[in-house]
């Protein structure tokens, strides 16, 4: 069996079309959705993510603001920036790009964000609301994974989903979202991590396997059952002298081998990555609807 490719690029474009209609509707009511991003320091990967977010906003007609602070910014200063954004009516949603420099307490900063403007969905109130099935904002990457599954005809209801990874931004929330008693969920979920014994014995049971480990090409074909749906979240930079830049991006899944066994698979790049950005845009738009007492 050769797997069908689930193109995040194509699905994200469809969602962008839907968002354009929503944004036009808001604009017709005199509302321009606004998203702000706060970046502390000069981490090149973070700078690139922040640029991509700004570009995506501009392309859709979402008002975007990027606040760049030096790496030695004090926690107090960052908290005052968060406070200003909490109060700014032009900004419906915002996020503080992680990771933060070591001298800043990440949890303290996340806790200071107004949960109603928490575009990343990382505030403990939003994490709790996601868990009890009453979400305000869903975190972008796990929400994007759910949309990819549903829109590719792989509704997770009744399926055994095996998630490899238990981070707060991917593994745990995707497990929480897919186990809900809700549309596009109702899966039976197993979460594996670095202390899991005999990982392959779990992944081989998965109707759907979600790899979110950060370990290049770790998931091999013999770890997947025939016909499984494989979602590769991993984004790993590996040296490749044959590539123009001397490196390329690969996922956590051994794509070439696994695609011969899976029924559906996501590529890297062009899979989960584009979905993450568009789901963040969706959070900005839903926040604008909510802030104006409107139904999305
Ligand atoms: P983390 O490093 O925070 O978490 C990795 C998780 O994988 C941990 O729970 C870890 O276990 C587990 N793990 C690592 N090695 C193994 C192993 N050998 N066997 C089983 N479990 C293992 O990473 P993130 O969740 O932040 O990201 C994961 C990957 O997804 C990265 O490549 C990242 O770049 C990518 N990513 C991509 C996004 C996108 O938009 N495409 C967005 C976010 C992330 P333990 O908890 O025990 O340490």
CA 164–ligand 1 middle distance (angstroms): 8
Question: What does the domain layout of the chain look like in residue ranges?
Answer: 30-114, 140-273
Please list the pLDDT of the chain residue by residue as tens digits (296 residues): 899 999 999 999 999 999 999 999 999 999 999 999 999 999 988 999 999 999 999 999 999 999 999 999 999 999 999 999 999 999 999 999 999 999 999 999 999 999 999 999 999 999 999 999 999 999 999 999 999 999 999 999 999 999 999 999 999 999 999 999 999 999 999 999 999 999 999 999 999 999 999 999 999 999 999 999 999 999 999 999 999 999 999 999 999 999 999 999 999 999 999 999 999 999 999 999 999 999 99
Neighbours of 101 (CB within 10 A): 16
Q: Which atom of ligand 1 approaches the CA of 166 most closely?
A: 9
30-114: CATH architecture: 3-Layer(aba) Sandwich (3.40)
Residues classed as catalytic? 53, 97, 120
CA distance 103 to 109: 12
In terms of pTM, does the model score above 0.95? yes
Q: Where are the alpha helices (DSSP H) in 140-271?
A: 140-151, 171-178, 199-203, 255-258
CA 59–ligand 1 middle distance (angstroms): 30
What residue owns the CA closest to ligand 1's atom 8?
165
Fold exhibited by the domain 140-273? Rossmann fold (3.40.50)
Q: State whether the beta carbon of 192 lies less than 6 angstroms from ligand 1.
A: yes
Tens of pLDDT, residue by residue over 162-214, are 999 999 999 999 999 999 999 999 999 999 999 999 999 999 999 999 999 99
Q: State whether the beta carbon of 169 lies less than 6 angstroms from ligand 1.
A: yes
Q: Which atom of ligand 1 approaches the CA of 195 most closely?
A: 47
Neighbours of 119 (CB within 10 A): 28
């Amino acid at each position: 069996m050769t797997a069908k490719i689930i193109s995040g690029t194509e699905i994200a474009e469809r969602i962008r079309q839907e968002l354009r209609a929503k944004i036009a509707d808001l604009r017709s009511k005199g509302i321009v959705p606004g998203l702000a991003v706060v970046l502390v320091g000069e981490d090149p990967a973070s700078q690139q993510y922040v640029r991509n977010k700004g570009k995506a906003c501009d392309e859709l007609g979402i008002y975007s603001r990027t606040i760049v602070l030096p790496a030695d910014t004090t926690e107090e200063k960052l908290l005052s920036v968060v406070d200003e954004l909490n109060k700014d009516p032009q900004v419906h949603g915002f996020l503080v790009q992680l990771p933060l420099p070591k001298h800043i307490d990440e949890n303290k900063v996340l806790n200071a964000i107004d949960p109603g403007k928490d575009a990343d969905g990382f505030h403990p109130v939003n994490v709790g609301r996601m868990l009890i099935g009453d979400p305000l904002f869903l975190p972008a990457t796990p929400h994007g994974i759910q949309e990819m599954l549903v829109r590719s005809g792989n509704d997770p209801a009744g399926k055994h989903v095996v998630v490899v990874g238990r981070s707060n931004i991917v593994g745990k929330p995707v497990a929480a979202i897919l186990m809900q008693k809700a549309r596009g969920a109702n899966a039976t979920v197993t979460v594996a991590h670095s202390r899991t014994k005999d990982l392959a014995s779990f992944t081989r049971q998965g109707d759907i396997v979600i790899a979110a480990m950060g370990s290049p090409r770790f998931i091999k074909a013999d770890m997947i059952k025939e016909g499984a749906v494989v979602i590769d979240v991993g984004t790993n930079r590996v040296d490749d002298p044959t590539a123009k830049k001397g490196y390329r991006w690969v996922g956590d899944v051994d794509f070439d081998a696994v695609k011969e066994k899976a029924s559906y698979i996501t590529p890297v790049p062009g899979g989960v990555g584009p979905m993450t950005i568009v789901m963040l845009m969706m959070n900005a738009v839903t926040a604008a609807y909510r802030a104006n007492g409107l139904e999305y």
